Amino acid sequence: MSERIAVVGIGQTEFKSRWPEISQVEMVHLAVKRALENAHLTIKDIDAVFVGNMELFEGNYQVDMWLTEGDGAYLKSGMKIQTGGSTGSSVCTTVFDHAATGLFGAILGIAYEKQDEGSSDYGLRLVSEDTFFDIANGGRAAGPAMAAMALDMLRRKSVTEEQIAQLRVQESENASRNPHAHLRKKLTVEEVMNSRLLIPPLRILHMCPASVGACAMIVAPEKVAKKISPNPAWVVDWVTVHGGTLPPLGHMGVYMEETELGPQWAFGVEQASLKLYTRCGIANPRKEVDVIEVYNMSTWHEAEWWERMHICEKNDAGKLIKERATAMDGDIPVNPSGGVVATNAIGASAMQRFAEAAIQVRNEGGERQVPNVKTSMAVTAGGDSYSAAALFRKSLY
Amino acid sequence: MESKVIKPDWVRNTEMGLRGLQKGEKECKEISEPAYRGYAEASYALGREKYESEMKLYQKALEAGYVIVDTIVHLPFRESAGLRLSRFFTSLRDEAKILALRCPNCQRVIFPPRPVCGFCRITVGEKEEDWLVLNDEGKVVSFQVATEREVDRVTGRLVGQPNPCGFIRLDGGDEWTILVHYLEMIDIEKLQRGMRAKAVWKPREKRRGRMSDIAYFRMI
Amino acid sequence: MTRRVAIVTAVQTKFVSSQTDLSIGEMIWEAVGKVLQETGLKFEAQGGDKDGLFIDKIISCSEDYWQGRTISDMLYHMEEGGLGMSLTKVSGDGAFAVYHGAVSILSGKHDVVLVIAYRKESETVGSVIENAGFDPIYLRPLGIDFLTAAAMQANRYIYRYGVTEEQFAEVVVKNKGNAFRNPYAQEAMELTVPEVLHSKMLSYPLKELDCKPVSDGACALVLASEERAKALTSKPVWITGIGNCYDAHYLGDRDLSDCDSLQMAAQKAYAMAGITDPSKEIGLAEISEEFSYQELLWMEGLRLCKRGEAGRLIQDGVTRRDGRLPVNPSGGVLSGNPSGVAGMVRVAEAFLQLSDRAGDRQIAKVETALAHGVYGPAGQAHCVIILKR
């Protein structure tokens, strides 16, 4: 009924602030080429191509049409998926669903962002700009919600500001070992603590950058994967949960701590993680998973997500930081890639969580490889609490 | 006959933006609160810097031989508020009353009014008893002071007003009730989560059935 | 296919030129609310039914550009029933959302999928958006939109295959006439070929009546695995074949009178459905014809007839309601559907036909039907769905 599936190829471009010398098509093409090389395949072996993109960031309507010039979709199946910040992971779950039908050979998924081309601040401003209600020009209003979440974390002593700075340093150390990351400079606690205050307690170094780049992933069902790949990352299971805060107001502006949905975007992360654990028979994720990639759009979010994913008790995120439990040499490494706080090409970021988790299981992480990874997990979050989670294993049996 | 050099699109568009920015800077003088005037002026200064660095980038790209195509998409929208929001906005205009809905099943307050309760998946707002009036006063649960705002790249202007933006839980609603609106321009140090605020309504003849019928919320 | 997928219900709003009374959210809820009423289904996030009968995934189809807002669907998650649910969004055309829904079930990961498509074309300027659908470097600066691209395709089709503007007009007469029997259709009109030919020329050879009108509306379907489908309805309609395919983008890279991507999409669907001669085995076709000539061109790409033959077929009455192969008994897209929703409406109409719920437009004794969706300039991407009683 349901085919077992595996990731057989991954390709990423470098990620930077601007990339004026190549077009979107060329950038996507680069990621696709690298994925094909990594999989030892040619475009002829690909049956379907799925693209993720938020059209109002670059301003290209139905961009999957133009992209056929470089993504290999010419005369192949596919479609375009778009779910906000989680788009990259929605592309992955779409690719996974298609692969699991057994109707396709190898399938390619692509997620990217070339924000330097569009007026993405304008596109982002339009996120919460409901015509009728948002007269106070939202879009930047993600700030207050994040600040409120951070204040709440401090209030319930989940973390201290210094611990957040330490975590940011840890994230930067990881990113320094990732050749694809955007912000690779190793930071110090002093630098982070003294960086410019945005909305207290958020500091500029806590927040993710705006990056440009592309990520591509090739997935195949078991019978194909076994033939073509010596090193598949088996996708054991995948789930999506849309948390849903209360747009247009709740999405951006409100912490919602007093409602049952809890902090912005946390509901989706928690529900998706728990659903994945139940379906995969995982009772103790901290012990049973070897490495996790989470969508940390800020350092505060990473700490919050640990609690939401139940790898520690509520209000114990600070403990994990103190113990360095989530560092590369800790007992539950998180974000060896550096995560979103080091690289955020919005469309690609969610796919990169899945890709990096798969890379870990395939032992292709180079300097960022965690030793002896058998099981990895990826959890994403995005606009209006879309969250996807997936579990990868080195071997099926 | 003089030969006239045609400027690249991006130069023309940037110059257009800069002209708008200049007008915006002049209008800053009209902001009564000095702190907020300062924020707006700082935002424009940042906007200027951004234009200048963009010009430099384009120039570099040109010299390196890269072609960059500048397009502006002009798209007008005319959206229907719908049955429930039309009633909501009419009530703002004619009665200075803020309406909300209550789900007859779970009793949650639905604000702004929408046709369905997201939890129960049932229709709301067709029966009169689903409607309720919220107080125009409430608690500021969160806020943002735009000390640095983005300049619209096309028009060169700061979008919206210089006021802080508040997230107000109106009395009469429940924990789901939040209204996003402007707050009065008070000293940033004095702004605190949990403060109470009350709507300052525009006079009837200036109200037109939009959220802007409330000028802003003042702290009480 | 080891797992079977069926459609258990299909709902449409009445398509109108301008839905000024309802907001987009109210329009979506009209469709979704009807679906819930008809099926009695709840959503997984509501706690579900003990028999495991609940909607476990929602796929919506809409495009940000038409609302001027990124993650535009975020405003409507409540109306879509999406709180706490597995929710994803496809852009392009509603038939692709149906395809995705079928895949979700065939993957073994889901059992009951709600698919929704909606658009209000009246609220903005379509040609500006369509222009943004072309690559920004070569084609967009020409000011081209989907109408002008279609006109180029129509011209090429005439040149290569000798079809005529009269034959295009026959499509309009047939479809707008069929619309009288369809309570959801926007524009039913009793027309003659000369009236169509004399309507205002918009982009040679396409005249006003050759083009679909601006339209607002929504459509929703429920797909289910075999077991669930049989529990939900006594007349499930089986999806026996699916296929979709992309063509090249740059208009000059294609011979616009060729239908390479449509042929491939159709071939995939036919192979899955075990159909070897579609011209004989398909009893009814709902084809997305935003422009009149497209009904003929796509028919040929679908191998419902030979290349160049579709014009003659329509003149012989073969594709009329009472013909051998009725095409668009619903009135088609020409009678008024928003693009992006149109493909899902074709599936809905085929479903209604095969479940004997098509009222006055019911065609008798159809076993196998075809539904088609398309998006992208001059039909760059196509989707074909085969349905069976």
Give the residue from B92, B167, B168 with the most A CB atoms within 10 Å of its CB, the best one to mutate.
B167
Residues of A whose CB is below 8 A from C106 = 101, 103
Q: H-helix or E-strand containing C310?
A: helix C310-315
Cβ–Cβ gap A59/B163 under 8 Å: no
Is residue A298 within 8 A of residue A85, CB to CB? The reply is no
Distance CA C45, CA C34 (A): 19
Asked whether the beta carbons of C286 and C363 are under 8 A apart, the reply is no
pLDDT 10s digits, A195-222: 998 888 999 999 999 899 999 999 999 9
Nearest chain C residue to A57 by CA: give it: C70
Please answer yes or no on whether A135 and B211 come within 8 Å at the CB atom: yes
Interatomic CA distance for residues A288 and C328, integer angstroms: 56
A349 has a pLDDT exceeding 70 = yes
Q: In this complex, is the C-beta atom of C271 within 8 Å of any C-beta atom belonging to chain A?
A: no
Cβ distance C74 to A84 less than 8 Å, yes or no, reads yes
Residues of chain B neighbouring C136 (CB-CB closer than 8 A): 69, 71
- Given an 8 Å threshold on Cβ–Cβ distance, is B150 in contact with A59? no
H/E element, A164? helix A161-176
Q: What is the CA radius of gyration of chain C?
A: 20
Q: What are the sequence ranges of the domains in chain C?
A: 5-124+214-232
From CA C31, how far away is CA A228, in angstroms rounded? 45
Count the Cβ atoms, other than its own, within 10 Å of residue C37.
12
pLDDT at A124 over 50: no
Kindly determine whether residue A137 and residue B68, on different chains, have CB atoms separated by under 8 Å: no
How many cross-chain Cβ pairs, A to B, lie less than 8 Å apart? 101
| Cβ–Cβ under 8 Å, residues C188 and C180 | yes
Are B178 and A253 inside 8 Å of each other by CB?
yes
Residues of B with CB below 8 A from A126's CB?
Answer: none
> Min CA distance, A23 vs chain C (Å)?
10
Contacts of A170 (CB under 8 A, 6+ apart): A321, A324, A326, A327
**Which chains, if any, share at least 3 CB pairs under 8 A with chain A?**
B, C
Q: How far is C218 from chain A (nearest CA, A)?
A: 19
pLDDT at A149: 83
CB count within 10 Å of CB A222 equals 17
Which residue out of A26, A254, A385 would a mutagenesis test of the B interface target, given it has the greatest number of B Cβ atoms within 10 Å? A254
Residue A251 has pLDDT above 60, yes or no: no
Residue A252 scores a pLDDT above 80? no
User: To the nearest whole angstrom, how far is the Cα of B65 from the nearest Cα of chain C?
Assistant: 15
Contact C246 A75 (CB under 8 A): yes
Interchain proximity C29–B123, CB inside 8 Å: yes
Which structure tokens are listed for B207? 């109200």
Min mean pLDDT across A155-164, A303-312, B170-179, C364-373 is at B170-179
Q: Are C37 and C29 in contact (CB under 8 A)?
A: no
Q: Rounded CA gap, C284 and C295, in Å?
A: 13
Contact yes or no for C77 and A94 at CB 8 A: no
Q: What angle, 0 to 180 degrees and rounded to 10, lies between the N-to-C axes of helices A24-39 and A63-71? A: 50
Among A119, A125, A134, select the one facing B180 at the smallest CB separation: A134
Which of A132, A134, A253 lies closest to B142 in CB terms?
A: A253
Cα–Cα distances in angstroms (integers) from residue C29 to residues B122, C170, C171, C189, C379, in the given order: 9, 37, 33, 29, 30
Please name the residues in contact with C263: beta carbons below 8 A apart, sequence gap of 6 or more. C301, C302, C303
Cβ <8 Å between C84 and A79: no
* Per-domain boundaries in chain B: 1-77+136-220, 79-134
Tell which of B101, B144, B151 to mutate to test the A interface (max A CBs under 10 Å). B144
- Tell me, yes or no, if C149 comes closer than 8 A to chain A by beta carbon: no
Structure confidence at residue A354 as a pLDDT band (50, 70, 90): very high
Residue C43 is nearest to which of B75, B78, B121, comparing CB atoms?
B121
Task: Tell me if ipTM is over 0.85.
Answer: yes
Contact residues on chain C for A62, CB-CB shorter than 8 A: 63, 91-92, 133, 375-376
Query: Average of pLDDT values for A95-106?
Result: 96
Distance from chain centroid for Cα A188? 25
B56 or C70, which is more confident? B56
What pLDDT shows up at residue A248?
Answer: 46
SS3 C87: strand
pLDDT score, position C36 = 97
The pLDDT confidence band at residue A123, using thresholds 50, 70 and 90, is very low
pLDDT of residue A347: 85
- Regions of chain C where pLDDT drops below 50: 1
- A59: confidence class by pLDDT, cuts 50, 70, 90: confident
Listed as own residue / partner, the contacts of A275-279 with beta carbons closer than 8 Å and 24 or more positions apart are: A275/A239, A275/A241, A275/A389, A276/A237, A276/A238, A276/A239, A276/A377, A276/A389, A276/A390, A276/A391, A277/A310, A279/A237, A279/A239
Tell me which amino acid residue A381 is. Answer: A
C246/A68 CB distance under 8 A: yes
Choose from A29, A54, A66, A96 for mutation: most chain C CBs within 10 A.
A66
CATH number of the domain located at residue range(s) C5-124+214-232 in this protein: 3.40.47.10
Task: Name the CATH architecture for the domain at A141-207+234-393.
Answer: 3-Layer(aba) Sandwich (3.40)
Look at residue B216 and tell me whether its pLDDT is greater than 60: yes
Split at pLDDT 50, 70, 90, the class of A264 is low
Question: For residues B100 and B134, is the Cβ–Cβ distance under 8 A?
Answer: yes
Kindly list the residues from chain A whose CB atom is less than 8 angstroms away from the CB atom of residue B211. Answer: 132-133, 135
pLDDT of residue A249: 47
pLDDT recorded at residue A386 = 82
Q: Read off the amino acid at residue C173.
A: V
Q: What is the least distance, in Å, from the CA of A204 to any CA of chain B?
A: 13
Which of A130-134, A233-237, B107-111 has the largest mean confidence? A233-237
* C108's tokens: 């073994």
Residues in chain C: 389
Instruction: Indicate the SS3 state at residue C60.
Output: strand
Task: Provide the edge-to-edge strand list for the sheet that holds B179-182.
Answer: B179-182, B165-170, B137-144, B196-201, B214-219
> Nearest CA to CA, how far is B57 from chain C (Å)?
19
Distance in Å, alpha carbon of A50 to nearest chain C alpha carbon: 10
Question: Is it the case that residue A137 has pLDDT exceeding 70?
Answer: no
Mean pLDDT computed over every residue of chain B? 90
Asked if C26 lies within 8 A of B123 by C-beta distance, the reply is no
The confidence score (pLDDT) of residue A140 equals: 47
Query: Which tokens belong to A256?
Result: 């919602």
User: Does the beta-carbon distance from A20 to B68 stay under 8 Å?
Assistant: yes
- Every domain of chain A and the residues it spans: 5-121+212-228, 141-207+234-393
Q: Are A140 and B73 an interchain contact pair (Cβ–Cβ within 8 Å)?
A: no
Q: What share of chain B is helix, strand, coil (3-state, %, to 5)?
A: 35, 20, 45
Kindly identify which residue of chain A lies nearest to residue C96, measuring between CA atoms.
A79
Which homologous superfamily does the CATH classification assign to the domain defined by A5-121+212-228?
A: Thiolase/Chalcone synthase (3.40.47.10)
Rounded to a whole number of angstroms, the distance from the CA of A236 to the nearest CA of chain B is 31
Identify the CA nearest to C85 among candidates C32, C37, C38, C39: C32
**Strand stretches in B1-160, DSSP E:** 98-102, 109-110, 131-134, 137-144
Q: Give the up-direction half-sphere exposure of residue C229: CA atoms within 13 A in the CB hemisphere.
A: 24
**Closest Cα partner for B44 from B74, B19, B71?**
B19
Residues 42-61 on C with a CB inside 8 Å of B are: 42-43, 46
Pairwise CB contact (< 8 Å): C141 & B74: no
Which pLDDT value is given to residue C48?
A: 59
pLDDT at B61: 82
- Comparing A295-309, B6-20, B196-210, C257-271, which segment has the lowest mean pLDDT? B6-20
User: For residue C243, what is the nearest residue in chain A, using CA coordinates?
Assistant: A77
Q: Are domains A5-121+212-228 and A141-207+234-393 of this chain identical in fold?
A: yes
**Measured torsion, CA atoms of residues A161, A164, A169, A170, in degrees rounded to the nearest 10:** 150
Q: Least CB-CB distance to A141: which of B68, B89, B144?
A: B144
Residue from B80, B108, B126 whose CB has the most chain C CBs within 10 Å, to mutate: B80
Contacts of C68 in chain A (CB under 8 A): 56, 126
| Cβ–Cβ below 8 Å for A148 and B193 | yes
Q: What is the pLDDT of residues B148-188, one digit of tens each?
A: 788 888 889 987 788 888 889 999 999 888 888 899 999 88
pLDDT of residue B24: 95
Query: Which residues on C lie below 8 Å from B74 (Cβ)?
Result: 128
Does C140 contact B at CB distance below 8 Å? yes
Contact criterion met (CB < 8 Å) for B82 and C25 = yes
> Do the chains contact at C136 and B80, CB–CB below 8 Å?
no
The reply to whether residue C20 touches residue B80, judged by beta carbons under 8 angstroms, is yes
Structural contact between residues A328 and A176, judged by C-beta atoms closer than 8 angstroms? no
Candidates B63, B92, B180: best to mutate against A (most CBs of A within 10 A) is B180
- Kindly list the residues from chain C whose CB atom is less than 8 angstroms away from the CB atom of residue B75: 65, 68, 124-125, 128-129
